[in-house]
């Protein structure tokens, strides 16, 4: 039975990944310090006989007894609200955390998968963004703790690949949404859904013409699984949905599906907010036959239902 270590295992993506690995008959060791993760995200499988949880900061020395076949580094704050609040922790999770987890992969001769991000492309001058695009990033700007943290993590992963022969996979993950996101996450979909369900106008920053591409979590996890288990993959791979929508359009779709026509209010655009974001996924299609299947409308229906349950459960 393969054994996988997932850092950030109590987070949104990490918990879904743990659940998928358990379904694929892996033993799973989830590591998290609950900076942005939640025990609630583990509820569906925390009593599974093949699941183990370790509460630890990934910037500290990691000692995982026994064999390890796969290391998946998903520990990092991932929303602008979180990495603005936890800037140093975000940098450390991606720099020191990558160092520690790569050390585990080296010691155990395990395959290593890094959760990178579309934010390595910055405010792109190319759209859609292929893996060959080097990006347009401000190294000292307000988003740099995340953008540059992930760029450093990619560089370190590739250094371990070249110098130590570690089998490294890099997933450049574009905007993903679904159940287990926090309503206070700060990203567009949880913000819009939370406001709609509370009967508040939806807050759109700037004129709303900026675009994003939204991938439902089940599709994203399938892409990660295929990347992890493919025979050989060279360099980073974009994982996301190329269905590009403006934020104004997203706000209208959320109101329609939520059944709450609350209107839109516009506020000033945050500094260095990307104008476009859309993945070129030809590499994922070619190398391991992956592309998203869930439409934005269907994914939003599932997500809104989960948020309704969250609000009913917590009364917020």
What region does 75 belong to: left with phi over 0, alpha with psi -120 to 50, or beta? beta
Looking at the chain, the whole-number percentage of residues with pLDDT higher than 90 is 93
Active site residues: 146
Q: Model pTM?
A: 0.96
CA angle 113, 118, 124 (to 5 degrees): 150
Q: What residues does each domain of the chain span?
A: 3-176+214-239, 181-212+243-271+294-314
What average pLDDT does the chain have?
Answer: 96
Asked whether the beta carbons of 116 and 148 are under 8 A apart, the reply is: no
Per the CB < 8 A criterion, the answer to whether 61 and 36 are in contact is: no
Model confidence over 48-83: pLDDT tens digits?
Answer: 999 999 999 999 999 999 999 999 999 999 998 999
Residue 90's pLDDT band, with cuts at 50, 70 and 90, is very high
Rounded distance between C-alpha atoms, residue 68 and residue 49, angstroms: 17
State the CATH architecture for 181-212+243-271+294-314: Alpha-Beta Complex (3.90)
Q: For residues 193 and 172, what is the distance between their CA atoms, to the nearest angstrom?
A: 25
- Comparing CA positions, the residue from 199, 212, 196 lying closest to residue 247 is 212
pLDDT tier, 272 (very low <50, low <70, confident <90, very high otherwise): confident
Does the domain made of 3-176+214-239 have the CATH classification 3.40.50.720? Answer: yes
For the chain, report the end-to-end CA distance as a whole number of angstroms.
41
| pLDDT of the residue at 58 | 97
CB 220 within 8 A of CB 241: no
**pLDDT, position 316:** 53
- Give which of 47, 42, 54 is closest to 4, Cα–Cα: 54
């Amino acid at each position: 039975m393969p054994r996988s270590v997932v850092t950030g295992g109590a987070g949104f993506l990490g918990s879904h990944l743990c659940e998928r690995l358990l379904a694929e008959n892996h033993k799973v060791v989830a590591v998290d310090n609950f900076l942005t993760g939640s025990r609630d995200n583990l509820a569906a499988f925390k009593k599974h006989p093949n699941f183990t949880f370790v509460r630890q900061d990934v910037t500290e020395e990691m000692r995982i007894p026994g064999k390890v076949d796969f290391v998946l580094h998903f520990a990092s704050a991932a929303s602008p609200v979180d990495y603005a609040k936890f800037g140093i922790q975000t940098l450390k999770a991606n720099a020191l955390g990558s160092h520690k987890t790569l050390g585990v992969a080296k010691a155990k001769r395990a395959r290593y998968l890094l959760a990178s991000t579309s934010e390595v492309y910055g405010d792109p001058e190319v759209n859609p963004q292929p893996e060959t695009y080097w990006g347009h990033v401000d190294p000292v700007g307000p988003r740099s703790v995340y953008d540059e943290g992930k760029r450093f993590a990619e560089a370190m992963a590739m250094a371990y690949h070249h110098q130590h022969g570690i089998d490294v996979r890099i997933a450049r993950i574009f905007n993903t949404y679904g159940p287990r996101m926090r309503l206070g996450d700060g990203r567009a979909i949880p913000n819009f859904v939370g406001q709609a369900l509370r009967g508040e106008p939806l807050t759109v920053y700037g004129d709303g013409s900026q675009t994003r591409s939204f991938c439902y979590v089940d599709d994203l996890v399938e892409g990660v699984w295929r990347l992890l288990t493919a025979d050989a993959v060279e360099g980073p791979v974009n994982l996301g949905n190329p269905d590009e929508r403006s934020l104004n359009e997203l706000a209208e779709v959320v109101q329609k599906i939520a059944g709450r026509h609350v209107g839109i209010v516009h506020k000033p655009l945050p500094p260095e907010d990307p104008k476009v974001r859309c993945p070129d996924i030809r590499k994922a299609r070619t190398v391991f036959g992956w592309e998203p299947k869930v439409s934005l409308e269907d994914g939003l229906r599932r997500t809104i239902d989960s948020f309704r349950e969250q609000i009913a459960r917590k009364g917020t």
